[in-house]
Amino acid sequence: MNRLLPIISLLLILLAIESKAQVSPESIDEKIENILSQLTLKEKVAMCHAQSKFSTPGVPRLGIPEIWMSDGPHGVRGEINWDNWGYADWTNDSITAFPALTCLAATFNPKLSYDYGVAIGEEARYRKKDVLLGPGVNIYRTPLNGRNFEYMGEDPHLASIMVVPYIHGVQENGVAACVKHYVLNNQELWRDHINVEVSDRALYEIYLPAFKVAIEEGKAWSIMGAYNQFRGQYCCHNEVLLNNILKEDWAFDGVVITDWGAAHDTKESALYGLDMEMGTGTDGLTLSTKNAYDNYYLANPFLEMLQSGEVPISVVDDKVRRILRLMFRTNMNPNRSFGRMNNVEHQEVAREIAQEGIVLLKNDNSFFPIDPNKKMTIAVIGENATRSMTIGGGSSELKAKYEIAPLEGIQKRFKNANIVHSMGYASGPPAYARVIPSPYDADSLKRAAIEVASKADLVLFFGGLNKNHHQDCEGGDRLQYALPFGQNELIDELVKVNNNFGVVLISGNAVAMPWLPKVNGVMQGWFLGNETGHAIADIISGDVNPSGKLPFTFPVKLEDNSAHHFGEISYPGDSIKQIYKDDIFVGYRWHDTKKIKPLFAFGHGLSYSSFNISNATSSKKTYTPGEEITLTCKVANTGSKDGMEVVQIYVGKPNSKVERALKELKAFKKVNLKKGENQTVQVSFNADDLAFYDESISDWNLEKGTYLISIGNASDNIVSEIEISIK
């Protein structure tokens, strides 16, 4: 018994300590200050820059861990080598590949965005990542931007609504979402230096809202600066963007991380808002090498400025406080989960997002759905029917556990049909920052495809873009609006021998469709991840009723797009400077206001059923600033299939004292209805959401007077209008 007394005493002491901690826990801020007081200046500086391609150092003597990051936002990237961009060749880093964010935006379903965030956050946590580099909310300004597939479309309200639940889902796992690329990184060409000039009004109304909501409502723990410049200062150390707007106006308490290699100056990095520098011009060699980690801008040069007094110690202390706060939320949080990876639930989330994001663009003579039980010959033509789309694309490429190609999905679902595939065209293997020619003979591929199509009962053409350089890929914009690799010419030849013809586009961008009148049906398929083939077959067979809506406008021709209308200085710039001459008139705002008919409008998406939106009313006719505006309408499924419709609410201000878009999306709601069912739908938004950014006062201004509310299911399909007034 005497031998047990010391053990019992120790247990009682530990219980007392734990009990005391539970009664009066030391606050996170107190813990941070305690740690800060124990750090040497050199240790503080070391925490502000990378030690490898995807990590920053901890402080081993104090038990402070390293911070580990991973590319996203569609899945956790395979393990990269410590000092170079080669893959580490692990055998246990294959993950669930989720659909691209363009697909997520096309669902118009915030619940799915939350599910997406939870699932990808669990995978990042299982892989022991502390920061997931995503989501991206840069605005779709031009269909040539090679990175549009990683973003959430052209409308700031849609992106704002969809980004918040994604962040919440990720961060519930103790993994920081890193919202990117802040801000105005709306093209890949010259992204590392182009100086963007944009009006304050366009900045605040179009390009900042999704970032603002991500910080203020999403409570994102980190944010990634953009490569480009804004008004002559690089975005990763920009006094206006980082100090004034982000940290002061929005009260951001997290960490600003550079895009890789996006820092350019030590003093500006120190003083203008950057907290953590990654990827600056290093191959990660030795300390004797000019660009090794300790020679980053926020490394030894920063230390020297602090030691000389040129930069006050309070500057590094603020950065380290933010980094420690990030750690207490992630890798120093004892209560975070262990994560999960490649489980059935994640695969189901990926498939459901893909199903709801696929957009039925055209469906003449009810070409879709195709009866999966009918005996027939289906010609599946196109490289994109078999090509892997999880690899390639730059930083968002993935090492997927598996990938169901469209052809495989159709073969599994259409078991009674004779499925014959012909490649038709070829693009070459995926490569970043270069193009590798295809080894195939284009004429031979075309002849074989025509032969197959001529003998089939119907043709499904799988075309579009891929994740090669100059396609949907980081590091370079597209070179043309047309489909590449001779696809337009091939379609023209194929419809001559078989006019029972449907097209499935796999891409993250709009494309020109000169062949549109000649085909019966068109689907926008996006990059759909693991479950690509299953999800496409679900829609084509009618097992799932399509409900996706376009998150951006398809112009008829490139010159119809606002960025391109104003010539090269508007896009892509003169290689030094770029002026956003389209101002606030991006996407459907431009097409509506200038009366330029699009090929397919923002919000457009067909169904195998039919819906009727009627009886739209407003709870009041007159509202005051800050008051909620509540609308109700009846939505009826008048078709023969269960399905989902998206009620879209747009608002315009006739006779405004400033130039405005004809209408702007202010609210939406996705409704699930059984065939024959109807439902009263209520949608609300705040009167303050109708304000414009008034440059004369550098603040928001809510005009009094009449506003026109438009209710419909696409920006070009308005079925009801209501007038209200603001006092």
Q: Helix, strand or coil for residue 2?
A: helix
Tell me the mean pLDDT in the region 363-386: 97
d(CA 626, CA 620): 14
Q: What is the DSSP letter of 386?
A: T
Tell me the mean pLDDT in the region 173-185: 98
- Find the DSSP H helices in 520-669: 532-541, 562-565, 588-594
Q: What is the pLDDT of residues 466-521, one digit of tens each?
A: 999 999 999 999 999 999 999 999 999 999 999 999 999 999 999 999 999 999 99
Q: How far is CA 645 from CA 550, 609, 630, 636, 718, in A?
A: 13, 10, 19, 9, 14
Q: What is the pLDDT of residues 511-548, one digit of tens each?
A: 999 999 999 999 999 999 999 999 999 999 999 999 99
Find the range with the poorest average confidence among 80-84, 170-174, 321-325, 662-666: 80-84
Residue 319: what pLDDT?
Answer: 98
pLDDT at 611 over 90: yes
Query: What percentage of the chain reaches a pLDDT higher than 70?
Result: 95
pLDDT at 17 over 80: no
Q: Helix, strand or coil for residue 17?
A: helix
Q: What is the band of 631 on the pLDDT scale with cuts at 50, 70, 90?
A: very high
Residues paired with residue 49 on neighbouring β-strands, in sequence order: 277
Tell me the mean pLDDT in the region 677-682: 97
Q: Which domains are seen in the chain, by residue range?
A: 344-549 (3.40.50.1700), 611-726 (2.60.40.10)
In the chain, the amino acid numbered 57 is P
- pTM recorded for the entire structure: 0.95
Q: What is the band of 68 on the pLDDT scale with cuts at 50, 70, 90?
A: very high
What spatial distance separates the first Cα and last Cα of the chain, rounded to whole Å?
82
d(CA 220, CA 603): 27
47, 371 Cβ separation under 8 angstroms: no
Residue scoring higher pLDDT (673 or 431):
673
Residue 287: what pLDDT?
Answer: 58
pLDDT at 4 over 50: no
pLDDT at 18 over 50: no
Residue 284: what pLDDT?
Answer: 57
Which tokens belong to 580?
């956003």
**Per residue in 262-282, is it b (16+ CB within 10 Å) or e — as a string?**
bbbbbebbbbbbbbbbbbbeb
d(CA 130, CA 328): 11
Quote the Cα angle for 636-642-646, to 5°: 55
What mean pLDDT, rounded, does the chain reach? Answer: 95
pLDDT at 725 over 60: yes
164: left (phi over 0), alpha (psi -120 to 50) or beta: alpha
96, 119 Cβ separation under 8 angstroms: yes
Find the range with the poorest average confidence among 9-13, 332-336, 642-646, 689-693: 9-13
223, 208 Cβ separation under 8 angstroms: no
Residue 15: what pLDDT?
Answer: 43
Residue 192: what pLDDT?
Answer: 96
Positions marked active-site:
259
Which tokens belong to 528?
């759909």
d(CA 541, CA 549): 19
Residue 291: what pLDDT?
Answer: 73
Q: What is the pLDDT of residues 87-136, one digit of tens each?
A: 999 999 999 999 999 999 999 999 999 999 999 999 999 999 999 999 99
Sequence-separated (6 or more) residues with CB below 8 Å from residue 216? 250, 251
Maximum Cα–Cα distance across the chain: 97
pLDDT at 6 over 80: no
How many beta carbons lie within 10 A of that of residue 283, not counting itself?
11
Q: What is the pLDDT of residues 326-353, one digit of tens each?
A: 999 999 999 999 999 999 999 999 999 9
Residue 21: what pLDDT?
Answer: 38
Q: What is the band of 84 on the pLDDT scale with cuts at 50, 70, 90?
A: confident
Which of 641, 404, 414, 420 is closest to 535 using CA atoms? 404
Q: For 554-558, which contacts have Cβ atoms below 8 Å and span 24 or more sequence positions?
A: 554/143, 554/510, 554/511, 554/513, 554/598, 554/599, 554/600, 554/601, 555/143, 555/510, 555/591, 555/596, 555/598, 555/599, 556/512, 556/597, 556/598, 556/599, 557/481, 557/512, 558/143, 558/144, 558/481, 558/512
Which tokens belong to 546?
């399509």
* Angle, helices 28-38/313-329, rounded to nearest 10 degrees: 130
